[in-house]
Amino acid sequence: MQGGTSVRLYGLEWPKESARISRVFDLLVAAILFLAVSGAFHLHYMLTAGDWDMWIDWKDRQWWVTLTPIMAITFPAALQYVFWTKFRLPIAATFAVVCLLFGQWINRYFGFHLWSYFPMSEVIPALLIPGALVLDIALLLTGNFLFTAMSGAFAFALLFYPTNWFWLAPYRLPVEVMGQLVSVGDYISYAFTRTALPEYIRLIERGTLRTFGGHSAIIASFFSAFVSILMYLAWWHIGMLLARVVTTPNTLKNFMGLTDKDEPAEAAQKAIDGTSLQGRSVAAE
């Protein structure tokens, strides 16, 4: 960094005022991006992993563990492409997941709890931050999206169940209700009724995975980790596609009296006259 009227940022000379405006721009974009990603990621996540994430009696060892990381790695992967290739910032996954968590807590507290009377104990969102940190750091350390997919995306899914077990365990204590064995989570959702979301709608512990014995969450986590690698690669490329600046032919110009053949002539005339846009304005003055 130099004294006087300019500063050096990452090896390039910047006028001080430009650097200051750039910093304000950083903050504005960060704030807008935070809200935009919160909304978009939350919408995507609610449409794909919604009920598993919304309700305490949907967070099973099989489907919740399998689906959630697969559906949650999408935005982090797409944003990682943009953040890393355009800015060398290894924070996209953490940023996306914090945005998601923000949207979820807003939604659960105001929408589910205050508006619809559900107790907070019934509607706690899943925690994805540790997996997202590992995903970001994998990209930072490897600098390669393929290695990040194989290590970071794998870890993103693998860490999901143990991360959430911290807070979920008290809801899996056994209780006896009307002579039946259920978990505390089952009983919470039974007691605080969802009128149009009855018990049978739950897609939990279905399938034959648990016939392999023991804790199906482990097998589900590894399966989810494998699919998350593929999802990561797919969404990294979706991020690449969406980050491209593309233009489409302006067909409306025909209605404005312009045709394609006019353009070369106009350009040629400009070249002859030596009039650029700036030149015209100067001439007009």
**Rounded Cα distance, 215 and 19, in Å:** 55
**Closer of 118 and 235 to other proteins (Cβ):** 118
220 binds other proteins (CB under 8 A): no
Enumerate residues 6+ apart whose C-beta is below 8 A from 258: none
Should residue 211 be labelled a site residue for other proteins when binding is judged by CB under 8 A? Answer: no
Residues 226-265 that bind other proteins (CB under 8 A): none
Give me 86's structure tokens: 């355009």
CA distances from 161 to 14, 21, 50, 60 (A): 47, 44, 17, 10
Can residue 144 be called a binding residue for other proteins (CB under 8 A)?
no
Report 99-118 residues binding other proteins (CB under 8 A): 101, 105, 116-118
By rule CB under 8 A, what string of x and - marks binding of each residue 178-197 to other proteins?
xxxxxxxxxxx-xxxxxxx-
Q: Which of 36-44, 88-96, 220-228, 235-243 is the region at the interface with other proteins (rule: CB under 8 A)? A: 88-96
Among 79, 132, 149, 219, binds other proteins (CB under 8 A): 132
Q: Does 134 bind other proteins (CB under 8 A)?
A: yes
Cα separation, 210 vs 202, whole angstroms: 17
Angle at 59 between CA 45 and CA 61, to 5 degrees: 115
> What's the min distance (Å) between Cβ of 104 and other proteins?
10
Interface with other proteins, residue 171, by CB under 8 A: yes
**Separation of alpha carbons 126 and 104, rounded Å:** 9
Q: Given candidates 68, 74, 94, 148, which one binds other proteins under the rule CB under 8 A?
A: 94
CA pair distance 231, 242, nearest whole angstrom: 16
- Minimum Å distance from CB 281 to other proteins? 24
Q: How far is the CB of 105 from other proteins (least distance, A)?
A: 8
Q: CA 195, CA 215: separation in Å to the nearest integer? A: 32
Q: What span, in angstroms and rounded, lies between the C-alpha atoms of 171 and 186?
A: 8
